[in-house]
Amino acid sequence: MQVTINVNGEPITRDVEPRKLLVHFIREDAELRGTHWGCDTSNCGACTLWVDGEAVKSCTVLAAQADGHDVRTVEGMETEAGLDPVQQGFIECHGLQCGFCTPGMMMTARWLLDHNPHPSEEEIREAISGQICRCTGYKNIVEAIQWAADHPATSEVNA
Amino acid sequence: MQTPAPTDYVRATSVANAIALLEEHGEEARILAGGHSLLPMMKLRIARPEMLIDINDLDELRGIRVEGDELVLGAMVTHREVLESPILSEHYAVFREAEKVIADPLVRNRGTVGGSMCQADPSEDLSALGAALRGTVVIQNSSGSRTVPLREFHEGPYETKVGPAEMLTEVRFPIRPGAGSAYEKVERRVGDWAVCSAGVFVTVKDGVVADCGIGLTAVGAEHFCAPDAEAFLIGKAPTEENLRAAAKLAGDASDPSSDQRGPADYKKHLAEELTFRALTRAAAASQGA
């Protein structure tokens, strides 16, 4: 079947099998490999991206279901103004070690901050509770998200 | 790598259209709601539907509303919507308490109430909640719809009263002014299925329990409820002694199996203890404590 998915604002049309998972469409068809493919079982959250503004695990959504919908991936975080504060926060606070969980963590962090700009540490930990960092670097990830909350997008941050 | 077996896909344009598609494609067709139960089952090849009928476009299945003396949830209401619903929280704290411990925020963004009910996992938290509140479901087919009490909805693990060419369209809960409610869950880690959960409501009037409901999940309680424990409490003061005795009966209503989540006697203990804790909080809430 033919699907057209708006990925980071760009419509991408491909022929896919109906059983194709969105994570594989993004990586293989849209050729955006920032979205990682981890556990396959909706446990690890490495494949987290947005569908119509909601953070979801893309290993548990069919590409067919996203036909005609808006998808935002980690590649869509940076704007002309520069890095998203979440990305900057992960740099400032050393929010990654191996980097495998990072794209998913950042997409969830941005989703959290859009809904709750000043989350408590507990709310941050709850938000990323569906994601696994196998380096166990949660402390720095939480701090990175806190940094982003404390530094909302301004020209200063993005300079 | 886990990939579903080959399947076909179609988007339904209305409930009537979805049912017509189910009739057309027969028993190998499945309704695709949030997909967070069905797609994992398909990846494990436990489920191999030949046709997926996506109902995500059906706005008629969305929304939470009050209708007369009932709370009505469309089948496509997501777990997150239940968690954040002021209408549901106003009437029953148990919705928020249960949803907070169902899966994780990302799964709750996508998973639906109707999908969870139809998946009918023996550890489903909403099954305990639905049994406790004595909710009903509306099941529709091409000749009309019928209402089925949630305490009669399950035929067994992963089996419900929803037949081929039928779909669940609504879940309904009676509103009970003055009721307090609570949910208690023990899980191995955040987002996991319950080792045991207890959901309850209690209405205390004139110092005695006028009405109550006790739901249990993951411990093999028939229809996810504990009717003997409920009957015991009616007309009695919600004292610690009486709540303990009722909780003991709830433990007796469980029939858990030993598995990787724990031995059977531990789960039976949890059924009793979690029921006691939930009853204690619900009774206090009903009395405005």
Distance CA B280, CA B207 (A): 14
Does residue A66 fall inside a structural domain? yes
Phi, psi angle pair for B255, to nearest 5°? -145, 65
- Asked whether residue B154 carries a pLDDT value surpassing 60, the answer given is yes
Q: Which of A1, A64, A127 is opposite residue B105, by nearest beta carbon?
A: A127
What are the residue ranges of CATH 3.30.465.10 in chain B?
A: 59-174
Between β-strands B29-32 and B144-149, what pairing exists: parallel, antiparallel or unpaired? Answer: unpaired
The domain boundary, picked from A22, A54, A76, lies at A76
A11-37 pLDDT tens trace = 999 999 999 999 999 999 999 999 999
Predicted local distance difference test score (pLDDT) of residue A153? 78
Helix (H) or strand (E) holding B201: strand B194-205
Q: Indicate where chain B has its CATH 3.30.390.50 domain(s).
A: 179-286
Closest Cβ–Cβ partner in B36, B105, B110 for A126: B105
- A47 lies within 8 A of chain B by CB: no
> A32-36, A80-84, A142-146, B247-251: which range is least confident on average?
A80-84
- Split into its structural domains, chain A has a count of 2
Q: Which of B278, B137, B277 is nearest to B201 (CA)?
A: B278
| pLDDT tens-digit map of B1-45 | 789 999 999 999 999 999 999 999 999 999 999 999 999 999 999
In terms of Cα–Cα distance, which of A158, A33, A50 is closest to A114? A50
Name the one residue in this structure whose structure tokens are 């708006």. Answer: A6
Range of the domain at A110: 85-151
CATH code for position A119: 1.10.150.120
In words, the CATH class of domain B59-174 is: alpha beta
Residues A70, A91 within the same domain: no
Nearest chain B residue to A45 by CA: give it. Answer: B106
Q: What is the pLDDT of residue B168?
A: 98
pLDDT digits (tens, 9 = 90+) for B164-203: 999 999 999 999 999 999 999 999 988 899 999 999 999 9
Burial class (CB in 10 A: 0-12, 13-18, 19+), B45: exposed
Question: Could you tell me which chain A residue has the CA closest to the CA of B4?
Answer: A19
Residue A48, chain B, CB below 8 Å: the answer is yes
Same-domain check for residues A101 and A71: no
* Helix, strand, or coil (residue B160): strand
- Using CB atoms within 10 Å of the CB of residue B264, give its burial: 0 to 12 exposed, 13 to 18 middle, 19+ buried: middle
Q: Is A35 among the domain residues?
A: yes
E-only strand ranges, chain A: 2-7, 10-15, 48-51, 54-57, 70-72
| A142 lies in some domain | yes
Give the full edge-to-edge strand order of the sheet including B179-187. B179-187, B194-205, B208-217
Question: What integer pLDDT is reported at residue A54 of this predicted model?
Answer: 97
* Same domain as A66, residue A11: yes
Of the pLDDT bands very low, low, confident and very high (cuts 50, 70, 90), residue A154 is low
**Dihedral (C-alpha) B92, A115, A151, A153: value to the nearest 10 degrees?**
-170
In CATH, what number is assigned to the domain containing residue A33?
A: 3.10.20.30
pLDDT tens sequence across A85-139: 999 999 999 999 999 999 999 999 999 999 999 999 999 999 999 999 999 999 9
Residue A129 touches partner B, C-beta closer than 8 Å: yes
> Residues of chain B whose C-beta is under 8 A from some C-beta in A?
1-9, 32, 35-36, 39-40, 42-43, 52, 54, 56, 103-107, 109-110, 190-191
Query: How many pairs of residues across A and B have Cβ atoms under 8 Å apart?
Result: 77
User: Chain A residues with CB inside 8 Å of B40's CB?
Assistant: 41-42, 60
Are residues A89 and A115 both part of a single domain? yes
What is the rounded CA–CA span in Å between residue A88 and residue B27? Answer: 52
Could you tell me if A12 and A76 are in contact, meaning their C-beta atoms sit under 8 angstroms apart?
no
Look at residues A76, A101, A130 and tell me which one is the last residue of a structural domain: A76
Instruction: Point out the residue among B32, B35, B106 whose CB comes nearest to the CB of A130.
Output: B106
> Shortest CA distance to A112 belongs to which of A89, A82, A81, A136?
A89
State which CATH number among 3.30.43.10, 3.40.50.300, 3.30.365.10, 3.10.25.10 fits the domain covering B8-54.
3.30.43.10
Mean pLDDT confidence for B150-159: 96
Render pLDDT for A55-64 as a digit per residue (tens, 0 to 9).
999 999 999 9
Q: Is residue A157 part of a domain?
A: no
3 state SS for B62-87: CCEEEECCEEEEECCCEHHHHHHCHH
Interchain CB contact of A145 with B (< 8 Å): no
Q: What is the DSSP letter of B6?
A: P
Among A47, A76, A105, which residue terminates a domain?
A76
Q: Is position A32 within any domain?
A: yes
CATH number of this structure's domain B179-286: 3.30.390.50
> Quick one: A145 and A106 in the same domain?
yes
Please tell me which of the candidates A17, A21, A61 has its beta carbon nearest to residue B6: A17
Closest among B161, B109, B165 to B130, alpha carbons compared: B161
- pLDDT of B289 reads 65
CATH 3.30.43.10 segments of chain B: 8-54
- pLDDT digits over B93-129, tens only? 999 999 999 999 999 999 999 999 999 999 999 999 9
Q: Does A68 share its domain with A91?
A: no
Q: Tell me if A158 is assigned to some domain.
A: no
